[in-house]
A and B are shown apart, each in its own frame.
Chain A
Amino acid sequence: MPDMQTAHSPMIRLHDLQVEFRVPGKRVQAVNGVNLEVGPGEVVALIGESGSGKSVTLRALMRLHPERTTHYAGTLEVAGRDVLKMGKRELAQLRGSSVAMIFQEPLLALDPVYTLGQQITEAIRQHAPVSRAEARARALRLFEKVRIPSPERRLDAYPHEMSGGMRQRAMIALALACEPQVLLADEPTTALDATVQIQILLLLRELQRELGLSIVFVTHDIGAAAEIADRMAVMYAGRIIEQGPAAELLTRPRHPYTRALLKSRSEGAMQKGRRLDTIQGAPPDLSRLPAGCAFAERCAFAAETCLGGQPEETRVGPEHSVRCWRLDELPAQGGPVQRAEPVNG
């Protein structure tokens, strides 16, 4: 019921979302109870290691996982509509027109044997009854909007004929073709050079403000997330273990995993001769998740209580919540003061 929607109701509402992949002999619980709300015009970054369920959550928003092998549970609403109950037709209508997506590697996410112009006009005509010429005119305006040089000529280019940065701009133009309210970004800057990354992030932010887009930005690059996000949510083993306003989460992280993640960044004031802090061990096998906190076995603060069951979401600020058993016992800031050892003794 999109007409009943008010400015305050969220564009995206996930409650206890679960996504499970069922292949013969194996059940992979990729997403295990995600609660997340994204307001109109809000940018939320989903952060985590590979296999943390961030991309799976993102793709679940359009139900893009193979229907036969994927099992969804919980609440999944986009623009006030229940995505899990949609039929094929409704789903096709939602995809592209209300919610659009940009991908990590546009070279792989664009059809290699169609020109960009063909792909954009196809998407426009999929959702709007316009002529080919009108669709092409719109495509041209989109290319100008994302500032692709000599847009007329680029419309007739194939994806492989463009540079990485240009391709990502074209991908953004394609995503915006049907004026969506929500943009899902799946690591859109990961495959790009650092300088191009910044340009794309700035472009995204500019377009977001101009069009009032809600964006879910999936990344493992905290720097990129900090650049664009209003709020951040940190995922681990298919759960959001901490979420809050970007500035607060970056300066006052509470969950041991968030703290470790922030410390393992190479950016910022790294002193010469100091080791980069890394998180020991590997994320858990999603087909055999432990009963307790999934991070416990890698956590410096883990205790007996952590192994018993799932920690509840605890509010620690107006919009800041954490899932950790030992929240009250953690040191106030930055974790235990571990002196980073100089490399040569």
Chain B
Amino acid sequence: MIGYLLRRLGYALPIMLGVSFLCFMLVYLAPGDPLVSILPADASAELQKQMMQLYGFDRPLIEQFVRWLWRALQGDLGHSIATSRPVVDEVFKAVGNTLMIAVLATLIGFTLGALFGFVAGYFRNSWGDRLASFVSVIGVSLPNYWLGMVLVIVFSAQLMWLPATGAGPGGSGSWTWDWEHVQYLILPALTMSFIPMGIVARTVRALVADILSQEFVVGLRARGLGEWGVFKHVVKNCAPTALAVMGLQLGYLLGGSILIETVFSWPGTGFLLNQAIFQRDLPLLQGTILVLALFFVALNLLVDVLQTIFDPRIERG
């Protein structure tokens, strides 16, 4: 098992290196000058040159990349051009915020999705199946920023049950786990949960239907197992794939949904990316993308490892 883990980590390293290279280079494909946002419009050529040198933009791209990567390995992603604060601080604060709604959204989405999926898979072509399939199609295909706005209109503007935007009465700086703050989580997390719910429901439905049609289920019944006994076997057979799908969904959600976080003014990674793009804040953009990409790689690794634990048929050798 240890050997397997090390080998998997070994495979992940070149992926991470490639990802960081892409992160760094991609932002240069976009037009515009990174210093435009902080230099006054009438800045002299001399000042421009000084700033370029200060940020190192005058050096060859490869050299910039190597320097950037070297610092990144030491935990330094540079400073935001717009705010001058360390990118690492900005990113991890945003990741923390996104993590809250992403984990909550994944839990809601996975629970409801698995529930719908099991009902649909067990009672195929019943009204329950049709309802579950309808809900999962809605979940996947409904634009979630639109859904977010509708939820705000209903629960904030009309019913006035929940706050519409923000991350707590005093902003995200003073977060505590009390109702005062937690109520701000509910609408964004709920909006975000629709996509994993739809995807998990469809996956679980297909899995359950496939497993129930397999010969071993007849074998289980032939041993005298009741519905509950068979159900436990179905769950354990579904678990590896369903967990993998859940893990990947969590990975997507950690990237933050730019649209959802913008609708709810939630200071997460999506919100941060949005800011960085509009302000052409290159260090912030590169750093955010890098951290998110690495998260995704790590999560994939975790899912793979968990799968081998749950499913004995997957070779570790």
**Could you list which residues of chain A lie within 8 angstroms of chain B, going by C-beta atoms?**
59, 62, 64, 88, 92-97, 100-101, 103, 105, 108-115, 122-123, 126-127, 158, 160-161, 174, 177-178
Contacts and interface: CB of A to CB of B under 8 A. Distances in A.
A122 to B, nearest CB: 8
Contacts of A115: 312
A61 to B, nearest CB: 10
Interface residues of B, number: 21
B215 interface: yes
Contacts of A101: 219, 222
Contacts of A108: 214-216
A21 to B, nearest CB: 15
User: Which of A64, A111, A127, A174 is packed against the most chain B CB atoms within 10 Å?
Assistant: A111
A111 B223 contact: no
17 contacts: A64-B218, A95-B224, A96-B222, A96-B223, A100-B223, A103-B218, A110-B216, A110-B219, A111-B219, A111-B237, A113-B310, A113-B312, A114-B233, A122-B223, A122-B225, A127-B224, A158-B312
Contact of B215 (A88, A96, A109): A109
Nearest to A97: B224
A113 B241 CA distance: 13
B185 to A, nearest CB: 36
Q: Dominant SS at the A interface?
A: helix
Nearest to B240: A113
8 tightest A-B CB contacts, nearest first: A96-B224, A95-B224, A109-B219, A108-B215, A96-B223, A101-B222, A158-B312, A123-B223
Given A126-B229, A158-B313, A160-B313, A111 B222 contact: no
B225 A92 contact: yes
A103 B219 contact: yes
B3 interface: no
Given A126-B229, A158-B313, A160-B313, A112 B223 contact: no
A325 B216 CA distance: 42
Given A113-B311, A160-B313, A174 B214 contact: no
Contacts of B237: 111-113
Interface in B212-232: 214-216, 218-226, 229
Given A64-B218, A108-B214, A111-B233, A88 B312 contact: no
User: Which of B223, B236, B237 is packed against the most chain A CB atoms within 10 Å?
Assistant: B223
Contacts of A174: 223
A286 to B, nearest CB: 20
User: Which of B221, B229, B311, B313 is packed against the most chain A CB atoms within 10 Å?
Assistant: B221
Nearest to A59: B218
A115 B311 CA distance: 11
B218 A123 contact: no
Interface string B277-310: 0000000000000000000000000000000001
Contact of B220 (A111, A127, A160, A177): A111
A111 B221 CA distance: 12
A97 B224 CA distance: 8
A128 B13 CA distance: 53
B236 A114 contact: yes
A59 B221 CA distance: 11
Contacts of A62: 221-222
Contacts of A96: 222-225
A123 B220 CA distance: 9
Contacts of A122: 223, 225, 229
Contacts of B218: 59, 64, 103, 109
Interface string B222-259: 11111001000100110010000000000000000000
Contacts of B224: 92-97, 123, 126-127, 178
A158 B236 CA distance: 14
A93 B224 CA distance: 6
Contacts of B311: 113
Interface string B178-214: 0000000000000000000000000000000000001
Contacts of A161: 312
Contact of B223 (A88, A105, A113, A126): A126
A293 B224 CA distance: 38
Contacts of B214: 108
A306 to B, nearest CB: 36
Contacts of A97: 224
Contacts of A178: 224
User: Which of B214, B220, B311 is packed against the most chain A CB atoms within 10 Å?
Assistant: B220
B226 A88 contact: yes
Contact of B221 (A95, A112, A177): A95
Contacts of B233: 111, 114
A22 to B, nearest CB: 14
Contacts of B310: 113
A126 B225 contact: yes
A105 B226 CA distance: 23
A174 B219 CA distance: 10
Nearest to A126: B224
A97 B222 CA distance: 10
A95 B222 contact: yes
Nearest to B220: A111
Given A123-B224, A126-B223, A126-B224, A113 B313 contact: yes
B222 A92 contact: no
Contacts of A64: 218, 221-222
A105 B215 contact: yes
B210 to A, nearest CB: 12
A100 B216 CA distance: 14
A127 B219 CA distance: 16
Contacts of B223: 95-96, 100, 122-123, 126, 174, 177
B313 A109 contact: no
Nearest to B229: A126
Nearest to B237: A113
Contacts of A93: 224
